[in-house]
Structure 1
Amino acid sequence: MPAVGGVIAKIRKEPVSNFNMTDQEREMHNRTWRFVTAAHSKDWLFDGAVELQRTRLSSATDFRFTEERYYNWLRNEQYHSSRTRYSTVGRHILADLDTVSSTFASICAVVEVDRQRQIAASGLPAVGTDVRTNMQARKTENDWHIDWFVRALNYRYLSYSYALDHLLVETPHEQSMGVDENLRKLRPWVDRANRHDFCGDGGNGANRGPSFTIPSRYQTMAIDRENIVPK
């Protein structure tokens, strides 16, 4: 599929590199994969479309993903307790938080590889045009993959937020506060991704969590706690 996808990508006039992958690039692809797909949620992240996009058999389709899909999946799951839906959202957010730091670090490493390629090419006049074209194509491929991760992280955050807002109306429970706290911890990573700040403080910040938080949605809306405390 990747070989055929490369041919189709060339037909679409997209850059295609035949460089071997570095270890850093391979690790970045492995770590970002769990963010662009979600097998545990039965295709709410469009696993089939993601595979076509990964192999370049199709151009990027994730621009058309809509944020209500995750909530619809939660609603259709036959849980024994409505509280379990909150637990499910909380676990999914925690899984993202557990892996987002190492994913940022892997992206930072690839950014450095691309920088080193540019330096090497500028200092080696004997390197031919084909190699330089390949280098630029790989840089574009890496940039596109990083942009894909950024869109996926945004989509996850918006999907979780949409689900929490609607669960608060549909089945209000005290577990919502823990989910909201997890979501607040994820937001700074989303902000950093949107700024393409993957390396942080001198390239070491990717291994540390963001040092600030955003206000809770519970600070901006009135909640009658009596209605959500278990009786």
Structure 2
Amino acid sequence: MNEPTVQVKRNAGKIKCASRTSKAATLTLLLPLLVLGACARPVGDFGRAEDSVIHDEILPRVGAMSASSREEPVSRFILTDEEKLMRNRVWRFLIAPHASDWMFDAAVERQRTRLSPPTDLNFNTDRYYTQLRLDDYRSTNTRYVTIAEDADTDLKTIPGTFAAICDVMEVERRRNTAMEGLYPNNDAVRKEVRTREFENANVIAWFTRALDYRYKSYDVALNRLLVETPHQEAGLSNVALNRLAIFVDRAKRGEFCDPFTDQTYTAHQELPALQSRYENMDYNIPAEAEILK
């Protein structure tokens, strides 16, 4: 038999390479390229996510493979309209188009598509203050107004996000009812239901952490500005943060299904700010200088 030619050897190598269909091999080939493409998700009008084949189809599919390789549950269920809406609502809190890149937009996209495990657990709460400090404002007091406006922007979309989360909880209740009635002894179906619940719970937990992170970031900025450039405009920021803190606390307690969420938001707009260290500061009487010994 004749010795294989160089071309035959090359073809054999290609066939061997093509036959490697395991998840590990596929991820090895695709991840370097896709991670480079996993930059921040494109944003359109009014801070909404723009449609993108890469970010809406390719990255989530490869991310599911990556999560599976980490032995994380990956559901094969179709997303309901309520689950899609919840993810879209929550996404607005994971990034910050009104505050540049302080929310680590690229890292958020890798986490959203499950290309990487959660990274938001290690975010530092001083990035927002750093950005405020570096921005060139004509007046130092404008930074207080910026904090208030950013917090108010969050407050306007919180009720809708709470409602979307509540709707998903209702979907899960109906799904469990259907499962118990139609497939009471089917372990495969039960596993899929529990897997989707795991995924939804992760989205809700991420939203809660992101909301808390925003509040803490605003609070850190306000505290540092009060020392660096004290002014009465701090009262505006204080009012907004007090209102935001109420919803942060409710999210941490899992209270998303309050039928009076919209009314609660409106009512808190009319309430005076809670007593705090900011309001107790007297800007008209200079503090007596302290002599350090």
Instruction: Tell me if both proteins adopt one fold, taking TM over 0.5 as the criterion.
Output: yes
Q: Which sits farther off after the overlay, 8-17 or 38-47? A: 38-47
Q: Return the offset for 1:171.
A: 1.2
Note the alpha carbon deviations across 1:108-129, whole angstroms, 9 max, x for none: 0011111111111001137843
Q: Which sits farther off after the overlay, 43-52 or 80-89? A: 80-89
In structure 1, which of residues 200, 206, 212 is the aligned counterpart of residue 261 of structure 2? Answer: 206
Q: Which sits farther off after the overlay, 155-164 or 170-179? A: 170-179
Find out whether 1:91 has 2:161 as its counterpart: no
Change over 3 Å in CA distance of 1:74–1:123 after alignment to 2:
same
Find out whether 1:116 has 2:174 as its counterpart: yes
Change over 3 Å in CA distance of 1:171–1:224 after alignment to 2:
same
Note the alpha carbon deviations across 1:168-222, whole angstroms, 9 max, x for none: 111112211011011111111011001000002xxx1333326777733247743
Find out whether 1:143 has 2:205 as its counterpart: no
Task: For 2:133, give the aligned amino acid.
Answer: R
Matches within 5 A, 1:93-108: 93-108=151-166
2:281 equivalent in structure 1: 222
Note the alpha carbon deviations across 1:20-54, whole angstroms, 9 max, x for none: 11111111111111111112322111101000000
Secondary structure of the 1:78 match is: coil
Distance 2:187 2:227 in 1: 60
Structure 2 length normalisation: TM-score?
Answer: 0.72
1:25 equivalent in structure 2: 83
RMSD: 1.9
Secondary structure of the 1:208 match is: helix
Task: For 1:25, give the aligned amino acid.
Answer: E
2:71 equivalent in structure 1: 13
In structure 1, which of residues 63, 88, 113 is the aligned counterpart of residue 121 of structure 2? Answer: 63
1:157 equivalent in structure 2: 215
Task: For 1:159, give the aligned amino acid.
Answer: S
Pick the structure with greater CA Rg. 2
Paired residues in the alignment total 224
Q: Which sits farther off after the overlay, 215-224 or 108-117? A: 215-224
Distance 2:122 2:214 in 1: 14
Secondary structure of the 1:215 match is: coil
Distance 1:21 1:67 in 2: 33
Structure number with the bigger relative contact order (C-alpha 8 A, sep ≥ 6) is 1
2:249 equivalent in structure 1: 191
Contact 2:155 2:244 in 1 (8 A): yes
In structure 1, which of residues 151, 161, 170 is the aligned counterpart of residue 228 of structure 2? Answer: 170
Task: For 1:67, give the aligned amino acid.
Answer: T
Q: Which sits farther off after the overlay, 102-111 or 131-140? A: 131-140
Secondary structure of the 1:94 match is: helix
Secondary structure of the 2:182 match is: coil
Change over 3 Å in CA distance of 1:131–1:206 after alignment to 2:
farther
Contact 2:98 2:150 in 1 (8 A): no
Q: Percent of pairs identical after alignment?
A: 44
Structure 1 length normalisation: TM-score?
Answer: 0.90
Task: For 2:262, give the aligned amino acid.
Answer: N
Change over 3 Å in CA distance of 1:206–1:2 after alignment to 2:
same
Question: What are structure 2's unaligned runs of at least 5 residues?
Answer: 1-58, 287-293
Question: What are structure 1's unaligned runs of at least 5 residues?
Answer: none
